[in-house]
Amino acid sequence: MAYAAKDYSALIGLPGFSETLLKNHFTLYQGYVTNTNKVLDTLGAMLEDGKTGTLEYAELKRRLGWEFDGMRLHEFYFENLGAKPLAPGGKLAQKLAADFGSYENWEKDFKATGAMRGIGWTILYQDPVNGKLINFWINEHDVAHPVGCTPLLIMDVFEHAFMIDFGLKRADYITAFFNNIKWGAVEARLK
């Protein structure tokens, strides 16, 4: 069954994010969905034709991670936008304070991670082995994810996520992102 792009047009009008920026971002996401389907279809045909030992098959298998992860990370990113405040006494707020010493320490670390030079993603993960929350920098979205960890909060820091509205002012984008986090969606991902 093919993947279908989800409709995130309800985010249009989000404070700090222009319609142009969001529509461009949605188009990029839709490309990941389309390409995920194309790669899966081509791999399926190659499997049926007995072409699994080819260089083309190997390269498409590698490409699948890029397209699929690009699709899924954008879905998580859009779904954790919507400006719903963090419940101060909620499970997530308590966990952030316990694992980082305070919410403020966690936020400082997450923002600092997002402000690092380079392209990629800043992701708050939960380690299912010990439940610990950890902020990670993910450079290319098809590599470096901590195995088995659950992504809770995803911030896109590729240039397409902010350049149209913020130019090189990544810190201003990060502020706008924080003003628009839908904390309920983030907390729902917490185990």
What range does the domain containing 132 cover?
A: 91-189
Write the pLDDT tens digit of every residue in 36-83.
999 999 999 999 999 999 999 999 999 999 999 999 999 999 999 998
Q: What average pLDDT does this structure show over 175-185?
A: 97
Residues 187 and 127: beta-carbon distance below 8 Å:
no
Domain containing residue 40: CATH number? 1.10.287
Structural domain contains residue 4? no
130 DSSP 8-state letter:
T
Write the pLDDT tens digit of every residue in 96-135.
999 999 999 999 999 999 999 999 999 999 999 999 999 9
Separation between Cα atoms, residue 27 and residue 8, nearest integer Å: 11
Band of the pLDDT at 1, cuts 50, 70, 90? confident
Domain containing residue 114: CATH number? 3.55.40.20
- How many domains, the chain? 2
Q: What's the confidence (pLDDT) of residue 77?
A: 98
Q: Are residues 62 and 115 in the same domain?
A: no
Q: What sign does the CA torsion over 12, 82, 80, 156 have? A: positive
Q: What backbone torsions phi and psi does residue 137 show, to the nearest 5 degrees? A: -100, 125
User: pTM to 2 decimals?
Assistant: 0.95
Residues 151 and 124: beta-carbon distance below 8 Å:
yes
Average pLDDT, the chain: 97
Q: Residues 6 or more apart from 164 whose CB is under 8 A from it?
A: 18, 20, 21, 24
